[in-house]
Amino acid sequence: MDGTPPDYECILRDAGLRITKPRRIILEILSETDDHPDAAEIFRRAVQRDARLSLATVYRTMKVLEESGAIQRHAFGDGPARFEQIGEDHHDHLIDVDTGDVIEFTSSRIEALQDEIAERLGYQIVHHKLELYGRKLRPQPQRRRKAKA
């Protein structure tokens, strides 16, 4: 499409995987979004770019990408797995219990505490999951009370 070489191809190549149309499409989708789509959603978006792509391929690709460290799988609440590409930054998630929206955040202080705790228990952390499930608190109680309930 353009001139700049996209690096999802590198991702695949580095993982010793073949560069196929389905994989390219899926990686494109992942790199274009900043939300956390599940397999069905990725499939929906992917089919628009190549109608004969299958859900099974989405799942297979997600697995393979996860194993090669290109993406991360999440299991928020109980629903289907949701995915995001991995950036340099590690972050945790705040999930809006009402809307399902996901807000990313980081806290090096929490990370540090985690390491400390694990070590104290005789463990080394492989990975961790911190999810805050919250509800929007009504905007600024310090505003003038006139402005509608």
Partner DNA sequence: ATGCAAATGCAAACCGTTTGCAAAAACAAT
Partner DNA sequence: ATTGTTTTTGCAAACGGTTTGCATTTGCAT
Binding site for a second copy (CB under 8 A): 75, 77-78, 81, 94, 96-97, 103, 105, 107, 109-110, 113-114, 117-119, 121-137, 139
Establish if 44 lies at the interface with DNA (CB under 7 A). Answer: no
Instruction: Let me know if 146 is exposed, middle or buried by CB neighbors in 10 A (0-12, 13-18, 19+).
Output: exposed
Q: How many residues bind DNA (CB under 7 A)?
A: 25
Residue 133, contacted partner among a second copy, DNA, none, CB below 5-8 A by kind: a second copy
Question: Footprint of DNA on residues 70-89 (CB under 7 A)?
Answer: 79-81
Residue 97 tokens read as 């219990």
Establish if 54 lies at the interface with DNA (CB under 7 A). Answer: yes
Residue 8 tokens read as 């999802």
Establish if 23 lies at the interface with DNA (CB under 7 A). Answer: yes
Q: At what angle do helices 21-32 and 39-47 cross, to 10 degrees?
A: 110
Instruction: Let me know if 46 is exposed, middle or buried by CB neighbors in 10 A (0-12, 13-18, 19+).
Output: buried
Closest approach, Cβ 128 to DNA, in A, equals 20
